[in-house]
Amino acid sequence: MDDAERLFRTYHPMLVRYLTRRLGDRDWAEEVAQETFVRALRQDGLINERAWLFTVANNLVRDDARRDARRRARLELLREEMRDEVVEPEPLSLERAQDAALARRAVNALAERDRLALLMREEGLSYDEIAQALQLSVGSIGTTLARARRRLVEQYEALRESQRGSTGHAAS
């Protein structure tokens, strides 16, 4: 296993999940993730691979990634090989789709910095890595995450209550 393959196998699933959660679109997430790895292949001696990958992915989302067909094809091949190892989400039921829509709205209501910090933390990034990716001080990450978590939960519950209220009103 060469270094590129190791990098891909180690970080691709978490990066795609992070981007999917951020973007709300699996295809887009995979495109950005692939572009991220394409760029990683051009780099030598990454010191903090995970922080670097997430930083680049964030930038690509911001800048709308461009493509590199040749290397993308190779990564696509790797991804196909890994397909059996990657946990794929189950098909959506109506309830799950509604839950996902509520979660999406709640997450989108967060400030971008809070949202990204929370999503990266969920993928296991350390405070140092989050700070590096977001160009924040390490000391501010705890407060950022605390605020993000509280607002997310409050927003989500408020949306759920609102949905229940409107459903009940419609039923009556």
Partner 1 sequence: MQHLDEGTIHSWLDGALGAVQARDAELHVATCRECAERVAEARGLIAASSRILMALDHVPADVVPAAARQVAVAAAVPMPMVAAAAPRAETPARRSWWGHRYARVAAVIALVAAGTLVVARESGRDAAVPPVSQRAHVSDSMAVAGAPPAPAAVPNHPPVALGGAARRESSAPAAAAKSAAAPRRDTGAPPSAGSAGGSVGGSAFGTERAKTDAMSSALQASRANAPRALAVKASAESNQVVASPPPRLVATDTVQRGGTVVRRETYEVDNQHVVLEAQLPPGTPNEQARGVPAPAPAAPAAADSASMNANMSPVVIRVIRWRGTDGVDYTLSGPLSADALQRIRVALGKG
What is the C-alpha to C-alpha distance for residues 69 and 36, in angstroms, rounded to an integer?
A: 13
Report the residue from 1, 47, 69, 94 that binds partner 1 according to the rule CB under 8 A: 94
**Beta-carbon count within 10 A of 139 CB:** 9
53 belongs to the binding site for partner 1 (CB under 8 A): no
The sign one gets for the Cα dihedral 97, 22, 152, 89 is: positive
User: Measuring CA to CA, which residue among 58, 23, 53 is closest to residue 39?
Assistant: 53
99 belongs to the binding site for partner 1 (CB under 8 A): yes
Cα-Cα end-to-end distance for the chain: 62
101 belongs to the binding site for partner 1 (CB under 8 A): yes
6 belongs to the binding site for partner 1 (CB under 8 A): no
Q: Which two tokens stand for residue 100?
A: 């996902």
- Give me the 106-145 binding string for partner 1, x by CB under 8 A, dash otherwise: xxx---------xx-xxxxxxx------------xxxxxx
Q: 44 or 94: whose CB is closer to partner 1?
A: 94
Q: In this structure, are residues 48 and 129 in contact, taking their beta carbons and an 8 Å threshold?
A: yes
Q: 74 or 160: whose CB is closer to partner 1?
A: 160
Contacting positions for partner 1 (CB under 8 A): 13-14, 17, 20-21, 23-28, 31, 87-108, 118-119, 121-127, 140-150, 152-154, 156-158, 164
